[in-house]
Amino acid sequence: MATRQNSSSGKPKSPRVQVVLPEELCDRLSALAEKESRTVSNMAKVLIQQGIERFEQLHISAHSDTPPITSTEGFRSALEAQELKRLRGAPRRFKLHRP
């Protein structure tokens, strides 16, 4: 069961879930997080979101009461899954030449 805490201002924080992972899986998750420039917690969240979406798409029939995944959610997941890339050859500063 997820637990929910309150911040010092009294607002509820996001639910917390505790998971026990084998050492090898934890190492793989940490390596992925580092490669994606994310925290381990955020990387786990992204992978769980993607796994749930795939599961729902494959296993939940059209007659289910569960609402379909919106295009916004799919777009957000796709953006979160992308690698960070720096433009190569792009100038760091622009110089304006006056006539």
Is 75 within the bounds of a domain? yes
Is 9 within the bounds of a domain? no
- pLDDT score for 91: 60
- pLDDT score for 73: 78
Q: What is the DSSP secondary structure assignment for residue 86, as one 8-state letter? A: P
C-alpha–C-alpha distance, residues 57 and 20, integer Å:
27
**H or E, element range at 25:** helix 23-35
Q: How many domains are contained in the chain?
A: 1
Q: What is the number of other CB atoms lying within 10 angstroms of the CB of residue 67?
A: 6
Domain extent for 53: 23-60+68-81
Is 49 within the bounds of a domain? yes
Residue 95 CB-density burial (10 A; 0-12 exposed, 13-18 middle, 19+ buried): exposed
pLDDT tens, residue by residue, 33-90: 999 999 999 999 999 999 998 888 887 755 455 455 567 777 777 778 877 766 666 6
Is 56 within the bounds of a domain? yes
Is 44 within the bounds of a domain? yes
C-alpha–C-alpha distance, residues 29 and 39, integer Å:
10
- pLDDT score for 34: 94
| Residue 3 bridge partners (DSSP) | 16
- pLDDT score for 99: 72
